[in-house]
Structure 1
Amino acid sequence: MRRMKVYHVQKVYLNNMKKEFQQDNATAPKRRGCSAIVQRAKTILSRVLTCFHQKQRGIEDIVANADSSNVKLLALPIPINDESKPAPLSTFTNVAKPTPLASASSESQGQLQDQVTSACQAPSAAAIIAGESKPSPAGPFTNDCRGKHVTDTSSTPLAQFIRTIKEKSHGLSIDDFTFHKLLGEGGYGKVLLASHQATGQQVAVKMVSKRRLIMEGSEEIHTELQVLKKVRKSPFITRLYGCFQTKDHLFYVMEFLSGGDLHTLMEREGRIEGEKLRLLAAEMLCGIQYLHSKKIIHRDLKPENILLDHAGHARIADFGVAVMGFSALFKITGPAGTLEYMAPEVLSYERYDTTADYFSLGEIIYKLALGKHPFLIGSEQNIFVIKMKVMNKKPVYPSQMDPNLCDLLKRLLQIHQKDRRKMVKNIRQHPYFNTVCWKKLEAQISQQEFVSSSVSSLPPLERMDMDELINAEASMPSLHPKHQQLFRKFTYICK
């Protein structure tokens, strides 16, 4: 009886399999017909795309051969897709904004351009021919942010200086300059005020010891030069004109900023308040974001490294400990820079990225606004003591402080870098910066000058004896030829 039941089950199973097989054979032609239809559709789509590209090339030929009397075109590239637009800053693109802040609009996100000095985006060729759109030579700025007058700078001493150094076939040398005064001194070298003998242009010349760089490691030798070449288009970063070397020193020829730095500004004026503080904070933020868009972490932001031009506007300087080429997968570890302006994750030897620069920015703005450091009292050089104070002490915010400024500082001074990363997303849309026109700021158009009456005039142009500085290492043994080879690509002239 049991065997009969098993046999019956097997027979039913085989019959079901037979029916399914017959159904598959019956529907097979239909499936083959569907495949043919899909293949035909793909062929038609391919032909449509081919025709579309041919029409686009035809429009470009029409534009290229158009008579100037019939079609008015600017000498601008005609993009076919959106890839020609300057890339927005990676830190502020496609990110969610913290809940307390209003979400950023697409228009505000468009303000965060990677190249703030690039030309405006040209409309399509078809739109130009049809008269639907006319490109503007003023750039991607709205009417309220556009300059009304254009000044010819081709005959300025700076323009003459740049033309002169470009024409030199053998590059710059120490004999091309007259040195006047020691402007500053740091761990890597000295900064001197000099004037170019042929044009009279004043420049700042940074002199760095080759031996000191070799002691720090060969990977540090070209870091500052590479960074300055990569960020030369930003108006918020000190500009490099050229480089040259002697047997013992490297020389960076840079723009001379006569306003000093934020440290001397605070010593001279005390607290910085109102629109002046807001503008300085916005300019520093623009410079930091530009660095981060180029995958560069500064790591040594402090008042002494924020220089001021003749009108009192900020420039970020000193990239000796900067790091290039970071990414979401590549983070760095270890302290670098100035202890009292290091982020907690740097002091703790944790892996970190660009968020460390935002913490340093918060400390600078706090000190500008209140005249003191948010965590430290006096000068402390013990890394363990500084770490404990930064990690455990909460900054004090006076009751009379602008609430928007207070909220901005709390976001920048978040102890944990994950929290800080969330808080600085879309920081340009923070209420503290509501009155800032970012396009106008980045274009350096009609900026207000904040020159104090106490700003000292330019130092007298007296000749300085350079022999003592140049020959300071003359008594030391000469550098080995293999060490000199590390500097063979150092010479540079700006483009």
Structure 2
Amino acid sequence: MFCCATSEMTTKKRSSAEIYDRAEEEIESSKTLKKARLEDSAKEVAQCSAEKSYMASMKRSREEIYYSANEEIESGKTLKKARLDDRAKKVAHSSAEESGMASMKRSREEIYYSTKEDLAESSKTLKKARINPSTKEVAQGSTGESCKATRKRSWEEIYYSAKEIENSYAENELKKQKTDAAGVGGTTNIPTTGRIEAPLGPESFIYHRILGQGGCGKVLLATHRDSGKLVAIKMVIKDSLVNYDPHFIHVERQVLEIAEGSPFCAHAYATFQTEDYMYYVMEYLSGGDLFYTTIDPCDLTTIRHLAAELLCGLDFLHSNGVAHRDLKPENIFIDGTGHVRIGDFGLAATNMFGSKTLTGRTGTQSYWAPEVVRCQPYDTSADYFSLGTLLCKTVFGVNPFHGESMKEIMRNICCKIPRLQRGIDPVLADFLCKLLRKDQNMRKEAVANIRQHPFFNGVNWEEVEARKTPPPFANQLSPMEMTASVIELEDLVKHQQPISDTKQKLFNGFSFVSDAWRAMQ
């Protein structure tokens, strides 16, 4: 019993060290608790202060509310009165040409009526006005008080005298319903303005649909507002062309002017430019291109007419020193009568006369001639190899040098014989093989008398040149069915990175208007 009591007393005793440690822990715990309470109190004070500050900032005097409401009412009235047409703000103005052409800010109807009023007030003075188009200076006689009040107009606006404006206005009223006698363009039933001819700009046309699109721009179906003429507008981004190769800036325009002499080449009516874009106003060829066209290999008549017309167009280009360099089905177009046209001269080379040659790879790889693949000097005969390849692709639906990769295709172009469909007409096969000769000197000899090849027996080349032979394809769908929709100009013209004044000078002299376009106005 004594031992148990002694043990119990021992367990109840704590050393002074244990008591000290425990007391120290309780003191630290007490301090921590007080600190936490102080922090919570500080947070509550800060939150309360923030709420008071927020409430104070939200309060406004009755005078402030009154004047603010007054301002809002006035602003509402102003907004109701200001009904601006956003589309008018987004109109892309044409950049000034080197000759100093300023963008016309008034419609030609306004010019007409304004000058008509001037004529009524001071007819004698207006009759003395003479304009020199070459210097764009106006030799004016003495003016009456009414003429002094007339504000200055740009030389484009006063280019026509009041009498000329009246005559042109009357003539254009009679030309609204005019149709294209050649059958390659046509007019639309979109109402025209009956306005006189003036420098072209993007706003001169109504845009309907995108016909094609590439890395440098797009091709659009459009209607000329004044004449109702249906055209194709090719838009090219200036900056992309400058970065690719400035050499090509004027090439296509120059070739298009040359191409006016052949009925088997695409024609341009005009070209113009803005700060960001180059525009080509082209014939609208409603039949599309050969890429989406197939021919029965047994239909030798169609193949013969197609090959004959393409040879005529290609021979014309070569005789005028033009190497196309990008012949392929996508660049062969069909007009409204079913005849074919060679187009897209963006990569063409000019002044290719005599023994002049070119180097460098240009065009579409799968249609290159062997000398182009090997980076050897070549001349216009390379176009005949491309012609043979595109005819095979159109007739048989496959490239004669088809491969699993572009590297294999180029190896086949240089080393393999063309693979033609079994069972085809042997005369047709021989004609194609002559175009596809790998040695360019042998190819030159073969194509020198290609029109006398047996494949063209019975062909009257004079009639072909005059487009008196039946067209390779049937008459195409009327373009009227494609003009129902309208695309706004601001949806087509995207703002581009500005190019420097030095680069802009590269485009000097780009714009032109053809005689054919002037005759249609």
Task: Give TM class, smaller chain.
Answer: 0.5 to 0.7
Tell me the secondary structure at the aligned position of residue 293 of structure 2.
helix
Task: Report the CA distance between 1:448 and its aligned residue.
Answer: 4.2
1:341-399 Cα distance to aligned partner (Å, 9 max, x none): 11110011000001100000101111222221101146x4x4x4332121222223445
User: Which consecutive aligned stretches of 4+ in structure 1 deviate over 6 angstroms post-superposition?
Assistant: 159-162, 452-457
Q: 1:344 corresponds to which residue?
A: 370
Q: 1:466 corresponds to which residue?
A: 489
Task: Report the CA distance between 1:435 and its aligned residue.
Answer: 2.2
Separation in structure 1 between the aligned mates of residue 285 and residue 251 of structure 2, nearest angstrom: 22
**How do 1:206-285 residues align onto structure 2 when only pairs under 5 Å count?**
206-266=234-294, 273-285=299-311
Q: Which amino acid aligns with 1:157?
A: T
Q: Which amino acid aligns with 1:331?
A: T
Task: Report the CA distance between 1:171 and its aligned residue.
Answer: 2.0
Residues 455, 271 of structure 1: alpha-carbon distance in 2 compared, 3 angstrom cutoff: farther
Question: Which one of the candidate residues 485, 492, 499 is aligned to 1:479?
Answer: 499
Q: 2:360 corresponds to which residue?
A: 334
Contact preservation (8 Å) 2:196, 2:226: no
Task: Report the CA distance between 1:195 and its aligned residue.
Answer: 0.6
Q: Which runs of 5 or more structure 1 residues have no equivalent in the other structure?
A: 1-152
Pick which of 353-362 and 426-435 moved more: 426-435
Q: Which amino acid aligns with 2:504?
A: Q
Contact preservation (8 Å) 1:157, 1:200: no
Task: Report the CA distance between 1:272 and its aligned residue.
Answer: 7.4
Separation in structure 1 between the aligned mates of residue 181 and residue 477 of structure 2, nearest angstrom: 30
Task: Report the CA distance between 1:324 and its aligned residue.
Answer: 0.5
Task: Report the CA distance between 1:189 and its aligned residue.
Answer: 1.6
Q: Does 1:393 align with 2:416?
A: yes
Q: 2:233 corresponds to which residue?
A: 205
Q: 1:404 corresponds to which residue?
A: 427
Q: Which amino acid aligns with 2:424?
A: M
Residues 248, 389 of structure 1: alpha-carbon distance in 2 compared, 3 angstrom cutoff: same
Q: Does 1:302 align with 2:328?
A: yes
Q: 2:514 corresponds to which residue?
A: 494
1:188-213 Cα distance to aligned partner (Å, 9 max, x none): 32100001112211100000010011
Give the RMSD, CA atoms, in angstroms.
2.9
Residues 492, 272 of structure 1: alpha-carbon distance in 2 compared, 3 angstrom cutoff: farther
Task: Report the CA distance between 1:424 and its aligned residue.
Answer: 1.0
Q: 1:440 corresponds to which residue?
A: 463
Q: 1:98 corresponds to which residue?
A: none
Q: 1:358 corresponds to which residue?
A: 384
Pick which of 247-256 and 168-177 moved more: 168-177
Task: Report the CA distance between 1:456 and its aligned residue.
Answer: 9.5
Separation in structure 2 between the aligned mates of residue 237 and residue 453 of structure 1, nearest angstrom: 18
Question: Which one of the candidate residues 216, 233, 243 is aligned to 1:188?
Answer: 216
Task: Report the CA distance between 1:452 and its aligned residue.
Answer: 7.5
Q: Which runs of 5 or more structure 2 residues have no equivalent in the other structure?
A: 1-174, 187-191, 516-521
Q: Which amino acid aligns with 2:368?
A: M
**How do 1:38-77 residues align onto structure 2 when only pairs under 5 Å count?**
none
Contact preservation (8 Å) 1:178, 1:194: yes
Q: Does 1:422 align with 2:445?
A: yes
Separation in structure 1 between the aligned mates of residue 255 and residue 243 of structure 2, nearest angstrom: 21
Separation in structure 1 between the aligned mates of residue 176 and residue 449 of structure 2, nearest angstrom: 38
Contact preservation (8 Å) 1:359, 1:413: yes
Task: Report the CA distance between 1:491 and its aligned residue.
Answer: 1.2
Q: Which amino acid aligns with 1:295?
A: G
Contact preservation (8 Å) 1:258, 1:458: no
Separation in structure 2 between the aligned mates of residue 271 and residue 454 of structure 1, nearest angstrom: 24
Tell me the secondary structure at the aligned position of residue 323 of structure 1.
coil
Residues 240, 352 of structure 1: alpha-carbon distance in 2 compared, 3 angstrom cutoff: same
Q: Scaled by the length of structure 1, what TM-score is found?
A: 0.63
Separation in structure 2 between the aligned mates of residue 446 and residue 356 of structure 1, nearest angstrom: 28
Q: Does 1:319 align with 2:345?
A: yes
Separation in structure 1 between the aligned mates of residue 285 and residue 476 of structure 2, nearest angstrom: 17
Q: Which amino acid aligns with 1:315?
A: R
Separation in structure 1 between the aligned mates of residue 457 and residue 214 of structure 2, nearest angstrom: 37
Residues 396, 218 of structure 1: alpha-carbon distance in 2 compared, 3 angstrom cutoff: closer
Q: What's the % identity of the aligned pairs?
A: 39
Separation in structure 2 between the aligned mates of residue 271 and residue 401 of structure 1, nearest angstrom: 7
Separation in structure 2 between the aligned mates of residue 482 and residue 393 of structure 1, nearest angstrom: 48
Task: Report the CA distance between 1:490 and its aligned residue.
Answer: 1.1
Residues 341, 456 of structure 1: alpha-carbon distance in 2 compared, 3 angstrom cutoff: farther
Q: 1:131 corresponds to which residue?
A: none
Q: Which amino acid aligns with 2:449?
A: N
Residues 239, 175 of structure 1: alpha-carbon distance in 2 compared, 3 angstrom cutoff: same
Q: Which amino acid aligns with 1:226?
A: Q
Contact preservation (8 Å) 1:343, 1:356: yes
1:152-205 Cα distance to aligned partner (Å, 9 max, x none): x9984347999x9xx966421111100000000123321000011122111000
Separation in structure 1 between the aligned mates of residue 481 and residue 458 of structure 2, nearest angstrom: 33
Residues 368, 471 of structure 1: alpha-carbon distance in 2 compared, 3 angstrom cutoff: closer
Matched length: 333
Task: Report the CA distance between 1:421 and its aligned residue.
Answer: 1.0
Contact preservation (8 Å) 1:311, 1:449: no
Task: Report the CA distance between 1:450 and its aligned residue.
Answer: 2.5
Separation in structure 2 between the aligned mates of residue 154 and residue 446 of structure 1, nearest angstrom: 32
Tell me the secondary structure at the aligned position of residue 275 of structure 2.
coil
Q: Between Structure 1 and Structure 2, whose CA radius of gyration is higher?
A: 2
Separation in structure 2 between the aligned mates of residue 320 and residue 187 of structure 1, nearest angstrom: 13
Q: Does 1:174 align with 2:196?
A: no
Contact preservation (8 Å) 1:273, 1:369: no
